[in-house]
Amino acid sequence: MGVVLATWSLGLLARARPSQLPRLGDIRLDLPVLLFTLGATMVAVVVFGLLPALHATRAQPSVGIEGARTASSGRVRRLHGLGAVAQIALSLVLVVGSTLLTRSLIKLTHAGTGISAGTTLTLKVNLTANAFADPGTQTAFLDRLLPRVAALPGVVSAGLISSLPPHVSQMHTTFPAVDPVTGRQPDFAVEMVATSPDAFGTLGVPLLRGRSFLASDGTAGRRVAILSENAARRFFPGEDPIGRHLAVGPAGDASPEIVGVVGNVKYSGLDAPPDGAIYQPYRQRPFRTMYLAVRAAGDPLAIAGSIRQVVAREDATLALSDIRTLDALVADAAAEPRIRTWLLVSLTGLALLMSAIGLYGVIAYAASERTREIGVRVAMGARPSDVLRLFLTQGLALTAAGSGAGIVAAFAFSRTLGAFLYGIERTDGWSYGFATFFVLLVGMVSTAIPAGRAMKVDPLAALRRE
């Protein structure tokens, strides 16, 4: 059954096709995997079957059959109880981890990127061929391409940009900048981005001060730049950066004039803080790889064919790649934590199922061993609700003991999750409270079934059987 379930799970994984999981086609159930699993199973069987077997060898004939059975059943119940407590504790550890990762994933997928993805399509334009070796040739090609794409039916706006949020970065560098809090000048990491005038509007990046780039900001005009809000705050703390100059190019190049400030955008990943960014016109800072961002009136993928035709008319040898929507790009940035979360959630579900089965078995075994006692209790006037309460109390006591041990273990285990959490602390009280409540609920349901059967025992039939 385990092999069948594993094969089925691999089929589900293959159909999901997570882009962040490398060599997905190489993941399979082969002989080494099956032999390892068989070995691990046999070790588990021997280890966990050894204690009951040892207890069985300690029987003393002098005690008598009834006494030996009573003593043996008591030891077995205690052993089963310890096993159930351990299962519940381990399950709670996994439930806490799953809850923390799930809440972190929700916060991550709702984290702002600084853009408005909407119905925006992105396409990679690679100008690394020899025909585009000259920066002037690159610029001339992009100057012809952009207006023709913007004029296509169904296109609202189009722009060029060298890096794409939230995690496609081309040029990350550092500058000395004043920290507005400490007043010191540590290195400040910024993203160097080349854009066209319409790129900010296409991506939904707000203009906060000054102006955007103009068509006249070309190679022959004065050098200009636009700063992100974080970069403006760090380079010019407490000052208006508009009209100031910032040395961003090679030594000897003219320092561009700051003409505007735009909102912060993430280029280093969803879980990273917004980058500082320095934007320059693509004519003044050419990149050999640019991204075409196209905001569509309807389905963005529907206009991909028309864009390909425009590019082919300009240069038949140039191929577009990485054609996807901005929404897909943002989702792809969360693919790895999503896989990690669902893997742990799946393991947690299996662990809870095993804990429920184990707790059910303990209470069912206790009820079967105490059939005579139940019959006597009922014959002496105990109500069915008293019998139900007896076994529910036992099951909840085991669940509470396992939950207490699980909380302590989960707190220690959560240290390893700290690096994978976003926007949430590893000691998040809500996550621990939910996990404890959920495990207690599973324990109560697992206990209620055999306890409900025990309350229906006929005292005459129980005593006659004994």
325 three-state secondary structure: strand
pLDDT tens readout for residues 349-362: 888 888 888 888 88
Q: 0.85 cut: is pTM over it?
A: no
* The two structure tokens encoding residue 117: 């993805």
Residues contacting 134, CB < 8 A, separation 6+: none
Specify the DSSP class assigned to residue 220.
S
Q: Copy the structure tokens of residue 330.
A: 């943002």
Cα end-to-end distance, the chain, whole Å? 38
- For residue 375, the model assigns a pLDDT of 77
The span from the CA of 386 to the CA of 401, in Å, is 22
Judged by average pLDDT, the poorest of 73-82, 269-278, 304-313 is 73-82
pLDDT surpassing 80 at residue 56: no
How far, in Å, CA of 398 to CA of 420, rounded? 32
Strand pairing of 276-281 and 187-195? parallel
pLDDT of residue 130: 67
Instruction: Give the number of other Cβ atoms within 10 Å of residue 146's Cβ.
Output: 22
The per-residue pLDDT for 40 is: 93
459 three-state secondary structure: helix
* pLDDT band with cut points at 50, 70 and 90 for residue 137: confident
Q: Distance between alpha carbon 219 and the CA centroid of its chain, in Å?
A: 44
Looking at residue 211, what is its pLDDT? Answer: 94
**pLDDT-derived band at 145, boundaries 50, 70, 90:** very high
**Percent of residues, the chain, with pLDDT higher than 70:** 89
Tokens of 417: 């999750």
Q: How many Cα atoms sit within 13 Å of 211 on the Cβ side? A: 11
pLDDT higher than 60, residue 151: yes
pLDDT at 58 over 90: no
pLDDT value of residue 277: 93
Query: Residue 427 CB: number of other CB atoms within 10 A?
Result: 12
3-class DSSP assignment, residue 125: strand
Helix (H, G, I), strand (E, B) or coil at 241: coil
Average confidence (pLDDT) over 52-74: 60
What is the arithmetic mean of pLDDT over 416-422? 86
3-state secondary structure of 387: helix
Q: How confident is the model at residue 316 (pLDDT cuts 50, 70, 90)?
A: confident
Q: In which residue are the tokens 């207890």 written?
A: 55
Whether 63 has a pLDDT exceeding 70, the answer reads: no
